[in-house]
Every structure is written in structure tokens, then in C-alpha cells.
Amino acid sequence: MANITMIQAINQALDLALSADDRVMVLGEDVGPNGGVFRATEGLYEKYGGQRVVDTPLAESAIIGSAVGLALGGMRPVAEIQFLGFIFEAMDQMSTQASRLRFRSYGRYHVPLVVRAPYGGGVRTPEIHSDSLEALFSHLPGLKVVTPSTPYDAKGLLLASISDPDPVLFLEPMRLYRAMRQEVPDSWYEVPLGSARVVRPGDDVSVIAYGPMVPVAEAAAETLLQSDISVEVIDVRTLNPLDLETLSASVAKTGRAVIVHEAQRTGGLGAEIAASLQERAFLSLEAPIMRVTGYDTPFPVPSVEDWWLPDADRVADAVNFVLHY
Amino acid sequence: MANITMIQAINQALDLALSADDRVMVLGEDVGPNGGVFRATEGLYEKYGGQRVVDTPLAESAIIGSAVGLALGGMRPVAEIQFLGFIFEAMDQMSTQASRLRFRSYGRYHVPLVVRAPYGGGVRTPEIHSDSLEALFSHLPGLKVVTPSTPYDAKGLLLASISDPDPVLFLEPMRLYRAMRQEVPDSWYEVPLGSARVVRPGDDVSVIAYGPMVPVAEAAAETLLQSDISVEVIDVRTLNPLDLETLSASVAKTGRAVIVHEAQRTGGLGAEIAASLQERAFLSLEAPIMRVTGYDTPFPVPSVEDWWLPDADRVADAVNFVLHY
Amino acid sequence: MDPLKAFPLIQVLDEDGRLIGDRSQVSDDQLRAFFRWLTILRTLDQRAWNLQRQGRIGTYPPFSGQEATQVGVAAALSPDDWLCGSYRDWAALVYRGVPLYFPLLNSMGHPAAGAFPDPVQALPVQVVIAAQILHAVGLAWAAKLQGEPRIAVALFGDGATSQGDFHEALNLASVMSAPAVFVCQNNQWAISVPLHRQMHSQTIAQRAIAYNIEGLRVDGNDIIAVYQTMKEVVERVRAGGGPVLVEAVTYRLGAHTTADDPTRYRAREEDERFRHGEPLARLRRYLLASQILSEDEMQAIEEEAKGLVEQAVTDAASYPPSPPESVFDHVYASIPPQLLSQQEELARRVREGRRGGQSHG
Amino acid sequence: MDPLKAFPLIQVLDEDGRLIGDRSQVSDDQLRAFFRWLTILRTLDQRAWNLQRQGRIGTYPPFSGQEATQVGVAAALSPDDWLCGSYRDWAALVYRGVPLYFPLLNSMGHPAAGAFPDPVQALPVQVVIAAQILHAVGLAWAAKLQGEPRIAVALFGDGATSQGDFHEALNLASVMSAPAVFVCQNNQWAISVPLHRQMHSQTIAQRAIAYNIEGLRVDGNDIIAVYQTMKEVVERVRAGGGPVLVEAVTYRLGAHTTADDPTRYRAREEDERFRHGEPLARLRRYLLASQILSEDEMQAIEEEAKGLVEQAVTDAASYPPSPPESVFDHVYASIPPQLLSQQEELARRVREGRRGGQSHG
Ligand SMILES: Cc1ncc(C[n+]2csc(CCOP(=O)(O)OP(=O)(O)O)c2C)c(N)n1
Ligand SMILES: Cc1ncc(C[n+]2csc(CCOP(=O)(O)OP(=O)(O)O)c2C)c(N)n1
Ligand SMILES: [Mg+2]
Ligand SMILES: [Mg+2]
């Protein structure tokens, strides 16, 4: 056990996977001697060499497309897209290739590929670097989409993703990389894909969040407690396939739900969660399911981003809204 | 007025636009002498020449990326992506470029670009040719997404899209290209973007559909009438921005809604519509809003597609479900 | 630099089937086998076209005219090598061991057409232009990392060279020195777009210079030239010489697919000109003239081909259909809960015979 | 073909600033003006670095070492020509007429930094590697269609040449014979990835062969060579000669951005070697030796530069902030209903001072 940050937990997971399985390799832009622009791959090039920790040319379609081939050829590639906003360049390889090869080959082939990408705002990046695009990928059958909100989950979910026989998009909330420390076991453990986590039990309202918005939801819950409002906070963790059991059980209990994400509201993952929950828990609902999200504009420049991003205050407003509906 | 098919209506719209405005040009794969693989651009090369009706190299990112430049440079490009499934190759140019230039330039520039693409199933294409990807694009701020379900709307919406100062993705339901004829004015007219259409008024339940699913919804409504169920059918027409006024007014009236689309259910546009409607019409709802959609698998091969696609029978089942909830 | 000189067209048989080069690497027996295969494949291709016209199969992309390239390439590979081709590459696949009825099954829209039987080392045919070139790079790279002598071959068209993926693949392969061979079937057309609108360069082979890899231009209608060239190339690549780009200059004799009408965009005369040098007639002339095969022997082969193709038609038609709900079986390794309930719904509808799709639409 | 010979490095000043070529196309006055600009820009770049270190601006990508290329290119253009550059190309933009405080405003994350004042004909700086190359092709193509003598120039890095968009752009420009100039600033690094891991080719210029367009290699640290070469190229392209690829061989003297630490991946020695030939020192030596400028005159210019840069710092700092809710103003030409209500919500929160984001997170 060590008290470490999320980026350290990710680094540990990669290190463990590389040492446990010769087939595992890491590829991407600047993942080699530079150790990744966020240091996720720090020390791995030195430890495992340039054959297994590979700086690729600056070409995302080539990264994902060749990783599909590597996976088919018996490797276990863990590819990095430097910032999620640049995955658009590899969109075909993600959408019609990696995620469909099992289907297209009628089960003959599969693509055990993990694509890691930092995402989300809060760290004042230049434009396109802070986009939250999880909704696009959650609409692609054949792909799993995962995002941790703690160091412990980051390591356990990443190892589970690497073990998974299917392609997994592993989204790393940039602003949580170094935001907190947590005791994390040194050895291999997995947090199963497809299961949400009740972060904090509560009775009055369910606040459903993931990735960078989990601490925001927790902060809102803490504040609301002072007004005697008991909030159940749930971390979705796997965005596709969704753990609708856990989510709807919570809403069945509380009768009210607020969904929080950074991504733009229209067509965001909150829509899917809300739509599914009102189907499953209609008779329990005391108020509409509300969404607290990024606004329907492109992610703004740094001077505006604090205003644009959902915060605890907006979450609290939404909770109060559904409580007094 | 002439009694024409949707593909003829599209062809007419392009012809009118090319003849009315020198800045309009058509570009894409096989749009020239071949007249497009569906004949949408038939005769235009002969009439307007190879400078204005341009066969491009086989490169979607180049088509959209250069069209962005053409639009910035004072042209009014109408680009064709041969099948929507191939737009993934141009995803970055769609997502971070065309749709964001107004934002990125703080209003100094804008991109009057129309991207046309056939989509959807029902015509037994090879794989990847039948994908319905509208949800992905409806999540991109700065882009408008439009899809007609009749020849009249096809022409009017396409002309409105060409007149629009912002980038518009114009989705053409392949299976409706020649499925019906309609009287269509010969001259220029526009169907405004951002407005849904009540196809058929009704009292008991709202069935909300768009593109290829509108006739399916109508067929279901016809069948249900025999059981004295009065269905209001709404054609969404503009998928982003949504005309939530019209949609929620209908649901406020009927108290029940079924949303129908071909795209996969998880993360589809139905989720956004359901989420928004339960926010706006919560107190009117007598039953959960249900979705009849494609299944959460890749679009299947031709021998399976009839089973996979939503049909009137499934729509009727959902209507009965919400009526007897 | 004159690309036509820097990348001279490698030919062994001229357009009339006269031997104008060295054919020391192919035996007479090999040539007889090639003739037999080309005949079977041409017969299959024409039969498939007719089946589509009769409404018995769906869209079909004919490969007639390109058999010499596809068979020549496939014949130069070891069973362990990877082949990553596209929708038109059934000739190569069938030669590799994919049953003759698979192309038909594929055009019937049967999902099993994506699962070639073991041990055929090939990816399902690719529809997204150029996407498979990157897969070949990854497969080749994996072989190199594993110390396996395996190589990977990508087959793609002239149109595919305009895609970003083509460029990214060749650059990556060059940087990684991956044992990959990139075979472009330059059949002069990408649907209706002729080569000179696809690119402003004289050859495709010259693109190799951009990546500092070897580039070659071979007469793709000359199976001896293709096979011998590929044999050499494959050996060099297997030995670690780095990737190679091969431009096989050929011609699409027919339509792009059964949905296409080439009279809309290409002149009959051009057709005639190219038709003359087409691979089967060319080989036939040479084999007759050199008395490697007689007319009678050829006729026997043609008869055999017809029989094999008829059997393939029967095999395809009698191939057991897949239950519609099996689409859920191959999305993920194990079916997540939401998909499971969707699968149950579909299975129930199938059981109840509530037919979906168009018919109700 | 030996690319180093086929694409010889065009140089007028050697690394020590000695005249080794023809400089007949630049007057002494022009050179004085170049020196003044290079001095102002270098001063600005270093000041920006320090401002970031003081926490007064955000991420900043220094262009030091690349001023000769950027200014040489910009100086060869007409005001009507389009410039499509990336995040590091502020030297070119400022030379073109973008106010000196814009790069600072941009790194402060001010939304107005994307709106260059008229009549500067340039796109906002591009962050997505290689995306702007396609815009340049479209802009050039539009000019051609309109019969305007305008051309378009794309500036991009060595890393950008690996992207599919680079390939698609050059191919399309070649097919359309679009009046575009593609200027690659080969600064040897793409963040931490050195050129030899980016590509296995000796030059970037040789990629022109793939598209059958002209390719040139110029010493990007030699402003005379860049300017004269570009003048000629621009004239040919404007006259309809088709697109040209220019490789400007230069060096990124500093870090990739203020967020980068180059000591993690590049050796100090290499740095020293390249530092010697850097553009400002080189020009300075030549101007001194040829007595075009004296030490005193240079010092006066340096003083002036400091003043201008200080003014820019003040201008940036005092630039009025945009109200947060203005983000909604430039998404569409007119604000759709849903966005309008979101805008109202945000405006209300701003009015009530309910500060969002991290602070509450
Ligand atoms: C990415 C993508 N864009 C467009 C298409 C539609 N399309 C199918 S085949 C084809 C032409 C391909 O030409 P070429 O690469 O020369 O191969 P050929 O058909 O001649 O064998 C096009 C445009 C596609 N399948 N994929
Ligand atoms: C499509 C895309 N992928 C990755 C990045 C992250 N990134 C920013 S700059 C850079 C390196 C660019 O190198 P080069 O093209 O040589 O330009 P330079 O920075 O040297 O000017 C990378 C990988 C990006 N901005 N866009
Ligand atoms: Mg072709
Ligand atoms: Mg660089």
C-alpha cells in the first residue's frame, strides 16, 4: 500500500501489466523518454525498452489502426491519445474497426486494446485539449468506456481494462491526476468493468456523476448535508455498458435524481442515463431527472472555463430543484 | 409543381442553388459525370461544369477540410459524403474545425457549409453503409443536423441549409430516396431549420420520429387507429437544435410518448429527446417515455437487417405499453 | 526524376502473351495451376454477377481483370503470413483457402462470411477504404516484436492511396521497419473517378520515395511478373529489409459493383484497349503458344471450373441461416445485461414470427 | 536518388553569418527591417516565457529559433494572401499585422485572441496538428475559382507531416492545381519525438515527389534564404504553377511549450550545436560584418523592442475581459432557444457572483 495520486496509480498499473505480460506494450506520442505529457508512462521506457514503450509518429489513426493490428497479432497494446480531443483523427479506427472486428469476423477475431486518453477541463489547457467526448463513444457498440474518479479505481479499472478481451476506452480526468492521494495496494487488483459505485449513501436524492464530476458531487452533498439533505452520490465508473441496476436501485429508493457531467448537455451521456432511469423507475420518481452539465457551446478558453464547468453550487441548485418540485 | 421522389427533390434543390448563386459548388466522390452513387447530382456536372461540380480524390477529411477553406474563402460548398459511415474519416474536420470556427475566431469567421450524406438501413447495403450516426453529430455544438422524411421537406430543408450561415449536416434517408412521390414546387422555397412537423395529429400518444422512421411511425399509427388509438406522429426534422417546443406541447397534450429511431438505442438521439421531455412535461406524463430503436449491436448484415430495424409492429407494441402502463 | 523510368513496369508476358522477360522462377506446373485458378475465379466472378442480376445475391464487387494480381500476390505468401484485403479481393482470399462459396455468402449478407475457416490467415474483407493498411502494419509489427518470420500484406486500390490512412500506414511501417508489403491494385478507377483525377502523379510507386522505402511497379495483368516480383519482395521483407510498396498496374474490366453502371463515366474504347491485355486471355495465349496447355486441356479446366462454381452456388444457397438474435453474440466477449434483454426481445419476436423491417415500414 | 542532393539546402548566409549566396533580392533596408522584427519577436517570446513563469499568462509555445522562417514567409506574401498557421506561428502573424499583445492575450485564455483585427488575412492559430493544411487548400482553391490572384500558405511542423491530413491536403492541392504553398517548419522535434522517429526519410522536401509537385529545402534559420526562396515560390504559385512544398530546416531553441521540459529528452550538446546557427545571431553577425547595422544601432533597436513588448504586456493585461456568457454568442449565427436559456442561466449566475468551476469542485 502506498498513498499515491491518480497519475501514479495509472503509472503503477502500466508498470505491473508490462512486467506481468510480455504481450503488453504501450504506444503513443511522447510516451517514451518523455514519460508522457502528464508522466503517466514515466520510467517505463527506461525499464521496458523502446520496443515495448513506443513513441509513434504524430498520427492518431496510425496509433489506433496499428494497435488494432498489434492486438490481432497477439499483443496487448495500451495506446495513448495525448488528449481526448485528438481522438477525432482516429475516429474511424475506433468506430468501424477496433470496436467491430469481433462482429465483422463473426467472433473469429477480437481486439484486446486499451486506449487511454486524458480528458475534461479544470486545468486551463489551450482549446480542444479539454473536450469531454464520452457520449460519442458510449454510442458505439463493441466498445467499452471507463473513467475513474479515484487513484484506487484508476489502477483497478485500468488493470481490468487491460485484462478485458474487448477494446476499452479509458478516460482519465486530467484535473484529478494530482488532485488527491489514496492508499492503493501495490499488487495487481481489478475493479470490475460494468459496475457503478455508491460513493456516499443517502436517502433524499441520487446524484449520479463520473470522472471529474464525482468530487464536485461529493462537495455538493457535503454542503447540502448542512441543510439536512441526504444525498446519495454514485460514481458511474463504466460509461458503457452502464450499470443501470445500481443506478435505478438508488433512484427507486430516493425518488429523485440529478446527473452531473462536464460534457455538453445536448446528446450527453446524462441523456441516456435520464432516459433509462425514467423507463425503469418511473413510478418512483417524484420529480423530473435533472442534468447539470457543460453548456451547449464548445469547451471555452481558460478565462471562461470556471464559469462554464458544472460546480457544486449548480449541483446543489439542481438538488434543491428536484426536492422542491 | 411536379410529382417527384426525394432524390429528385434533392437534385432539384442542388440545381436551383447552383443556378441561383455562383458561389455554390458541389464536391465529393463520384458526384461529377457519374451523378452520385444515388444520382443526387445527376446532370449537374453537365450543366455547371467540372469547376462547380467536382469529383474529389477519395479522402473524406480532404473533402470536409478543403470545404471549410472554400467556405471561408467565399464559396458555398455543398459536400457529399458518399455514405454516412465514412464520415468518421472526416470527424476532426467536422467536429473541431467546421463547427467551431465561428467560436474559435470569436465571430470573425463562419463556415457556411452543407455536408450531405445518405444514411440508414433498409436497402441491403454492405456493412458500414447503413449506419445512423446522427446522435454523434447532435452532440457537437456549432453544427446543425437536419433530416427530411418527404420529398417536399427534402428540397425545402436542403435549400434552407444552403442558405444557412452555419455548417449543416444534411442526412438523407437512403431508403426514402425513391420510396414515395410528392407534389413539390419547382421554385425555391425553404423549410425553416429548427422546426418539427406534426405529421398527423392525435390525442392518446405522441410518436416522435425522424427520417426513415417517419413512415414507420405513420404505418403504426394507421394500424393502431383500428384499435381506436389516436396517435400523434411528429417528424423532428431538425435534430440539432431540437424543436422542443413542438415536442413537449404534444406530450403535454397526450401524456405519453414513444420515440423511434434506427440508430442504436444507447446514447441515441432518443435519449436526449426523452430526457428533455421528462424535464419539460413531467407532470403530464402518464407513463415512461419509451424508445423503439435499433439494437445495441453494429448495424447487421443484409440478411438480418429487417429483424434489426424498428418496424411498425415494434412501434405499436411500445404504444400499447405506454397506454396500458 | 522521371517516375516512369525510375519505376519501370516489370513485365514478363507482353499484352499479347509473348514472353519478353525471364520466367525462371515459375515452373510449367505452377503456370498450369495458375491457369486453372484464374479460370475458376473468372467463372465464379461471372456467375456471381448473374446471381445478383437474378436477385439471388446482393451487391457484388467483381474482380475480373485483377485475378493475376490477386492470385500472384497470394501465391507468393506463406500460410502464416497475414493478408488484409478489401471487398474486391476475393480472388486472393479464395486462392488462400477461403471456400469458393464465401464471396457468395458475403453478398447474400450472411454474417458468417466474416469468419473465414481456420487456418486462413486473413482479416475479413474491408469496406472502409484504406483502413486495413494500418492493420497490416500492426500485424507486421507484432510479428517483428514476437520474432516470428511472418509478414503482413495489405491489398488496396488506387483510390485508397488518397486516404490519410495510406500515408500514416506507410510512414509508420517505414519508421518501425515493419515487415509489411503494400500492394496497390491500380485498376485505373475508383468507382467513376479515373486515376488522373485521383492524383496528379505519374505512378503510385513513386510514393515510396516519400517514406524512403522500396517502390516497384509491376504489370498486374501478368501473373508471372506479379508472382515472381512478389516472391522476391516477400523474401526481402521477411529477411528484415523493411516495408515495400508494390504498384500492380491493372484494370477493372467490369463495373465497380453490381450497383454501378460504368457506361455513365467511361468510354467503351478505353475498355476495349485494356480488355486486350487482360490476365486470363494473356496467360491463355502464352500457354497455348508455348504448348504448356492445349485447347482441350483448357476446355477440361473450364468444365471443372463450372462444376466447382455450381457447387459453390449450392453450398452458399444451402448454408444454414443464422438466427437473427445471434447478432448479439459477437459484440462483446460476454453479453452485457442491457444487450441480453434486447437479445431476448428479438429472439421472442423471431419465435413469434413477427417479422421486422421494411415489410412493415 | 539521394534526397539530400535532389533537394539541396538553399542557403545565403552560412551558420556564422557569412554571405555564401546571392542576396540580390533583399535590400539593406529590408535587412534592417528584418533585424528589427526578429529582435522584437525574440524579445516578446522571452518575455512571454517569463510571464508564464510568473503565473501571469497560461501555456505558451515559444517560437524562438523559428523567427527567420516565420518572418521570411510572411514577408513574401501580399496582404490578400491567406496564412493558416498553428499555435507556434505568432511570429508570422505579428509580422503580418496581428498586434503584439495577441499572443499574450491568447495565452491568457482570452476568447478575443481568435479574432485578429481586419484586414489581417489569417485563420486563428490551429491546435489540431495538420488540420489547417486542408483549410489552406480550400482557400487557395476558392481563390482560383474566383479568379483572384490570392494564394494560401499553410505553416506546420515536422510532426504534422505524419498526419493523414498532410497527405490528403497535398494530394488534393496537386490534383486541383491549387495556388497553395505548404511550408513545413522542420524544427527537428515534435514535443519529445525527434525527426528520425517521426519519419525514416532524409528530407521532408522529398515528399513532394509523391504528389508530383515542386519541393524545396531551405535553411530556415537564414532569413535571406527563406525570404528570397519564398518570393520566387509565391510568384510561381500565384502565376498558376501549382502548389509547392517548402521544407524550412530550423530548430526549436526552447521547450515545446511552457508545460514542457526538454531536458527529459534532448541532450544539451545538440542544443549547443543548433544554437550557434540560430537566425537572430546569424543575421546580427552578417549585418555587423557588412556594416549594414552598427552595434549602437542594434542596441537602439533592442531598446525599442523592449519598449514595444512592455507596451504589449500592458495592452494584454488591460484588455477588457469578455463576459463569460458571451461564449454563447459565437456558436451559431443566431442563438437557438435552448442555448438562449442556458445563456440566461449563466448570465444570472455571473450577475449573482456565483463563481463556478474548480473553486467549488
Ligand atoms: C472511407 C470510404 N470512403 C468511401 C467509400 C465508398 N467507396 C467504396 S469503393 C470506392 C472506390 C474505391 O476505389 P479504389 O480504392 O481504387 O478500389 P477499387 O474499387 O477500384 O478496387 C468508394 C469511393 C468507402 N467504402 N470508404
Ligand atoms: C492531432 C493532434 N495530435 C496531438 C496533438 C498534441 N501535440 C501538440 S503539438 C505536438 C507536436 C507537434 O510537432 P510539430 O508538428 O513538429 O510542430 P512543433 O510543435 O515542433 O512546432 C503534439 C503531439 C495535437 N495538438 N493535435
Ligand atoms: Mg481502383
Ligand atoms: Mg516540430
- The pLDDT tens digits for C129-157 are 999 999 999 999 999 999 999 999 999 99
Q: Which of D132, D134, D175 is the best residue to mutate to test the B interface, defined by the most B CB atoms within 10 Å of its own CB?
A: D134
Q: In which band, very low, low, confident or very high, does the pLDDT at C356 lie, cut at 50, 70 and 90?
A: low
B161 at D interface, C-beta within 8 A: no
SS3 for D64? coil
Burial of D259 (0-12, 13-18, 19+ CB in 10 A): middle
In CATH terms, the fold of domain B197-323 is Rossmann fold (3.40.50)
Q: Which of A130, A118, A134 is nearest to A38 (CA)?
A: A118
Beta bridge partner(s), residue D180: D152
- Residue found under cell 505491473: A16
- D212 CB neighbour count, 10 Å cutoff: 17
- Residue found under cell 438466427: C323
**Residue D172: closest C-alpha in chain C:** C199
Q: How far apart are CA C329 and CA C343, in angstroms?
A: 9
Indicate which residue of B129, B139, B261, B324 is catalytic: B129
pLDDT value for D356? 58
Q: Which of C75, C4, C13, C90 is nearest to C45 (CA)?
A: C90
* pLDDT over threshold 80, residue C360: no
pLDDT value for C226? 98
Give me the residues of chain B with pLDDT under 70, please: none
Q: Report in angstroms the alpha-carbon separations of A201 from A234, B78, B181, C98, C288.
A: 8, 53, 58, 57, 85
pLDDT (average), residues A221-230: 98
The CB of D88 under 6 Å from ligand 2? The reply is yes
For residue A296, the chain B residues in CB contact (below 8 A) are 141
Q: Which of A241, A296, A325 sits opposite B141 (nearest CB)?
A: A296
B65 at D interface, C-beta within 8 A: yes
- D347 CB neighbour count, 10 Å cutoff: 15
Task: Output the CATH code of domain A2-184.
Answer: 3.40.50.970
A320 at D interface, C-beta within 8 A: no
Q: Which three cell numbers stand for residue A47?
A: 525499464
CB contact under 8 A, C166 and D167: yes
Could you tell me the distance, in angstroms and rounded to a whole number, from the CA of residue C264 to the centre of ligand 3?
16
Torsional class of D240: left (φ above 0), alpha (ψ -120 to 50), beta (otherwise): left
- Residue found under cell 455554390: B24
Q: Report in angstroms the alpha-carbon separations of C91 from A62, C94, C103, D208.
A: 28, 5, 9, 35
For residue C129, the chain B residues in CB contact (below 8 A) are 58, 86
Q: Which of B127, B240, B264 sits opposite A266 (nearest CB)?
A: B240
| D158 Cβ neighbours under 8 A, 6+ residues apart | D184, D185, D186, D187, D188, D189, D190, D195, D198, D199, D204
- Residue found under cell 496538428: D129
- Mutating to test ligand 2, I would choose from D129, D134, D158, D198 the residue with most ligand atoms within 8 A of its C-beta, which is D129
- The pLDDT tens digits for C192-241 are 999 999 999 999 999 999 999 999 999 999 999 999 999 999 999 999 99
pLDDT value for C273? 79
Distance of CA B223 to the CA centre of its chain: 25
Q: Which of C72, C134, C104, C98 is nearest to C313 (CA)?
A: C104
Residue nearest to atom 19 of ligand 1 (CA): C190
- The pLDDT tens digits for A102-147 are 999 999 999 999 999 999 999 999 999 999 999 999 999 999 999 9
Burial of B33 (0-12, 13-18, 19+ CB in 10 A): middle
The single-letter code of the amino acid at A166 is D
Total beta-carbon pairs less than 8 A apart between chain A and chain B:
139
CB contact under 8 A, A57 and C175: yes
Q: Which three cell numbers stand for residue C75?
A: 501465391
Backbone dihedral angles phi then psi of residue A269, each to the nearest 5 degrees: -65, -25
Q: Which of D141, D158, D162, D209 is the best residue to mutate to test the C interface, defined by the most C CB atoms within 10 Å of its own CB?
A: D209
Q: Which three cell numbers stand for residue B57?
A: 480524390
**DSSP label at residue A98:** G
Q: Which of C163, C164, C201 sits opposite D212 (nearest CB)?
A: C201
| C167 Cβ neighbours under 8 A, 6+ residues apart | C210, D164, D166, D167, D168
CB contact under 8 A, B297 and C339: yes
pTM of the model: 0.98
**Contact A152/A127 with Cβ under 8 angstroms?**
no
Question: What's the CA angle centered on C290, arms C285 and C294, to 5 degrees?
Answer: 70
Q: In which band, very low, low, confident or very high, does the pLDDT at C359 lie, cut at 50, 70 and 90?
A: very low
For residue D354, the chain A residues in CB contact (below 8 A) are 313
Q: Looking at chain A, which subunits does it touch, using at least 3 CB pairs closer than 8 Å as the criterion?
A: B, C, D
B244 at D interface, C-beta within 8 A: yes
pLDDT above 70: percentage of residues in chain D: 98
For residue B321, the chain C residues in CB contact (below 8 A) are none
In DSSP notation, C65-108 reads: T-HHHHHHHHHTS-TTSEEE-BTTTHHHHHHHT--TTHHHHHHT
**Contact C48/C103 with Cβ under 8 angstroms?**
yes
pLDDT above 90: percentage of residues in chain D: 95
Indicate which residue of D23, D96, D150, D252 is catalytic: D252
User: Residue ranges of the domains in chain A?
Assistant: 2-184, 197-323
* pLDDT over threshold 80, residue C281: yes
- The pLDDT tens digits for D292-335 are 999 999 999 999 999 999 999 999 999 999 999 999 999 999 99
Backbone dihedral angles phi then psi of residue D134, each to the nearest 5 degrees: -70, -35
In DSSP notation, B213-282 reads: HHHHHHHHHHHHHTTT--EEEEE--EEES--HHHHHHHHHHHS-EEEEEEEESTTSHHHHHHHHHHHHSG
pLDDT value for C274? 80
| C163 Cβ neighbours under 8 A, 6+ residues apart | B58, B59, B89, C129, C130, D164, D168
Q: Report in angstroms the alpha-carbon separations of A227 from A230, A231, A254, D358.
A: 9, 11, 17, 23
* pLDDT over threshold 60, residue D291: yes
Q: Report in angstroms the alpha-carbon separations of B37 from A138, C198, C268, C274, D236.
A: 31, 17, 20, 24, 38
SS3 for B72? helix
* pLDDT over threshold 50, residue D358: no
Q: How far apart are CA B7 and CA B37, in angstroms?
A: 11
The single-letter code of the amino acid at A72 is L
**DSSP label at residue A309:** S
Backbone dihedral angles phi then psi of residue D56, each to the nearest 5 degrees: -90, -20
C193 at D interface, C-beta within 8 A: no
CB contact under 8 A, A287 and B291: no
The CB of A59 under 6 Å from ligand 2? The reply is no
CB contact under 8 A, C175 and D197: yes
Report the nearest atom of ligand 2 relative to the CA of D66.
Answer: 21
- Residue found under cell 431527472: A289
Q: How far apart are CA B147 and CA B119, in angstroms?
A: 10
CB contact under 8 A, B142 and D142: no
A253 at C interface, C-beta within 8 A: no
Could you tell me the distance, in angstroms and rounded to a whole number, from the CA of residue C125 to the centre of ligand 3?
16
Ligand 1, CB cutoff 6 Å, lining residues: B 29, 58, 60, 82, 86, 89; C 88, 127-129, 157-160, 187, 189-191, 252, 256
Q: Which three cell numbers stand for residue B316?
A: 405499436
- The pLDDT tens digits for D97-123 are 999 999 999 999 999 999 999 999 999
Tell me the angle at which helices C295-317 and C28-53 cross, rounded to the nearest 10 degrees.
Answer: 50
Residue nearest to atom 13 of ligand 1 (CA): C190
pLDDT value for C77? 98
Q: Which of A91, A241, A275 sits opposite B271 (nearest CB)?
A: A275
pLDDT value for C355? 75
Q: Is A261 a catalytic residue?
A: no
Q: Which of C189, C208, C185 is nearest to C198 (CA)?
A: C189
* pLDDT over threshold 50, residue A93: yes
- The pLDDT tens digits for A50-68 are 999 999 999 999 999 999 9
Whether the ipTM is more than 0.85: the answer is yes
**Residue A84: closest C-alpha in chain D:** D128
Q: Is C227 a catalytic residue?
A: no
- The pLDDT tens digits for C250-268 are 999 999 999 999 999 998 8
The single-letter code of the amino acid at C326 is S
Q: Which of D117, D111, D114, D112 is nearest to D96 (CA)?
A: D117
**Contact D35/D301 with Cβ under 8 angstroms?**
yes
Q: How far apart are CA D217 and CA D229, in angstroms?
A: 9
- The minimum CA-CA distance between C180 and chain D, rounded to whole Å, is 15
- C14 CB neighbour count, 10 Å cutoff: 16
Could you tell me the distance, in angstroms and rounded to a whole number, from the CA of residue D88 to the centre of ligand 4?
10
The CB of D259 under 6 Å from ligand 2? The reply is no
- The minimum CA-CA distance between B230 and chain A, rounded to whole Å, is 22
**Residue A91: closest C-alpha in chain B:** B88
Q: Which helix (H) or strand (E) holds D304?
A: helix D295-317
Q: Which three cell numbers stand for residue D146?
A: 474566383
The CB of A29 under 6 Å from ligand 2? The reply is yes
Q: How far apart are CA B113 and CA A178, in angstroms?
A: 42
Question: What's the CA angle centered on C139, arms C133 and C145, to 5 degrees?
Answer: 140
Sign of the torsion formed by the C-alpha atoms of C95, C97, C102 and C106: negative
Q: Which of C191, C338, C361 sits opposite B34 (nearest CB)?
A: C191
For residue D267, the chain A residues in CB contact (below 8 A) are none
Torsional class of B35: left (φ above 0), alpha (ψ -120 to 50), beta (otherwise): left
pLDDT above 70: percentage of residues in chain B: 100
**Contact C205/C172 with Cβ under 8 angstroms?**
no
- Mutating to test ligand 1, I would choose from C129, C156, C182 the residue with most ligand atoms within 8 A of its C-beta, which is C129
Backbone dihedral angles phi then psi of residue C290, each to the nearest 5 degrees: -90, 5
